[in-house]
């Protein structure tokens, strides 16, 4: 299929209660829409304006939308949408606005790791995904801002994680998990720049790890930095998707 010209619609400014944040975007083509600026009549009008421009009409660079009764939305705030043409031969990704993404280091590409990665594509996360087995990663290309790394031993990746990374540890091996936890705590001792260290597993697994970490010389305060089991409280179920949702909600709740 030949590439189409598109209109890139971006939330430029906001005031008050609004459905999406500054930087949210959608790309409108004649035959489809990618992304969202908030849905409802706001988005309906933006799509209509964009398609009229694609058909040869004029295109305003910025439009103010009061989200009140006249628009059929009761948010009460104001959204300013920016409109720009993207030629068929232009790379859309290169024109997308920079949005602050939380760095997330995910150790393990097993069932839960794959579920986390699938859901994380739609979340404001920059994923650094590490596994000792190169053939475990899916064939589709990484999402924007992602990095996939096959490294054996995977604990060696800890020293190169982005500052401020939240860490989820769920490799195929308890031995690998332990070494990754120990490497994270060593980094915390030296730099204190990992706001969350989460380990998949039971309380029994963590009790065993705690004892071994104590033998390694890690203090009680250092060991208390590890969260195990992972996931927001109250979410039951051991299916990979359930665990993934609970763990990602925990990450998104971090300040």
In tens, the pLDDT along 116-159 reads 999 998 898 999 999 999 999 998 877 777 899 999 999 999 99
Average confidence score pLDDT of the chain: 93
Examine the pLDDT at 71 and tell me if it is beyond 90.
Answer: no
Nearest CA-CA partner of 22 in 91, 100, 92, 93 = 100
**Cα-atom radius of gyration of the chain, to the nearest Å?**
22
d(CA 133, CA 128): 15
Predicted local distance difference test score (pLDDT) of residue 1: 43
Examine the pLDDT at 190 and tell me if it is beyond 70.
Answer: yes
Examine the pLDDT at 167 and tell me if it is beyond 60.
Answer: yes
Q: What is the DSSP string of 91-138?
A: -HHHHSPP---EEEEEE--SHHHHHHHHHHTTSSEEEEEEES-GGGS-
Dihedral sign (CA 194, 200, 203, 208): negative
In the sheet with 147-150, reading across from the earlier edge strand, the strands are: 147-150, 125-131, 102-107, 166-169, 196-199, 226-227
Examine the pLDDT at 191 and tell me if it is beyond 70.
Answer: yes
Examine the pLDDT at 231 and tell me if it is beyond 50.
Answer: yes
DSSP state of 188: H
175 in Cβ contact with 212 (< 8 Å) = no
> Which residue shows structure tokens 């994680």?
161
Predicted local distance difference test score (pLDDT) of residue 76: 80
Max avg pLDDT among 19-23, 51-55, 74-78: 51-55
Examine the pLDDT at 223 and tell me if it is beyond 60.
Answer: yes
54-60 mean pLDDT: 95
Examine the pLDDT at 2 and tell me if it is beyond 70.
Answer: no
Its pTM stands at 0.78
Predicted local distance difference test score (pLDDT) of residue 132: 96
Examine the pLDDT at 210 and tell me if it is beyond 70.
Answer: yes
Nearest CA-CA partner of 168 in 255, 102, 239, 238 = 102
Greater pLDDT, 86 or 72: 86
Dihedral sign (CA 167, 173, 189, 146): negative
Examine the pLDDT at 225 and tell me if it is beyond 80.
Answer: yes
């Amino acid at each position: 299929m030949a590439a189409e010209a598109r209109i890139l619609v971006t939330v430029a400014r906001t005031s008050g209660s609004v459905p999406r944040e500054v930087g949210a975007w959608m790309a409108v083509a004649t035959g489809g829409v990618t992304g969202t600026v908030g849905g409802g009549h706001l988005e309906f009008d933006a799509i209509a304006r964009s398609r009229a421009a694609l058909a040869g009409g004029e295109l305003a660079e910025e439009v103010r939308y009061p989200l009140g009764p006249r628009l059929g939305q009761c948010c009460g705030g104001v959204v300013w949408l920016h409109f720009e043409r993207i030629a068929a031969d232009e790379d859309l990704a290169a024109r997308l606005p920079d949005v602050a993404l939380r760095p997330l280091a995910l150790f393990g590409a097993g069932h839960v790791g794959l579920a986390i990665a699938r859901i994380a594509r739609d979340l404001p996360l920059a994923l650094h995904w590490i596994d000792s087995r190169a053939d475990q990663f899916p064939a589709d290309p990484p999402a924007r801002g992602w990095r996939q790394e096959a490294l054996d031993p995977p604990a060696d990746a800890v020293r190169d994680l982005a500052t401020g990374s939240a860490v989820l540890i769920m490799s195929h091996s308890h031995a690998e998990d332990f070494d990754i936890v120990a490497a994270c705590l060593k980094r915390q001792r030296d730099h204190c720049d990992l706001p969350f260290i989460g380990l998949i597993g039971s309380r029994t697994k963590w009790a065993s790890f705690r004892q071994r970490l104590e033998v390694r010389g890690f203090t009680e305060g250092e060991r208390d930095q590890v969260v195990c089991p992972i996931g927001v409280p109250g979410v039951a179920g051991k299916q990979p998707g359930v665990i993934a949702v609970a763990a990602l909600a925990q990450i998104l709740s971090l300040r």
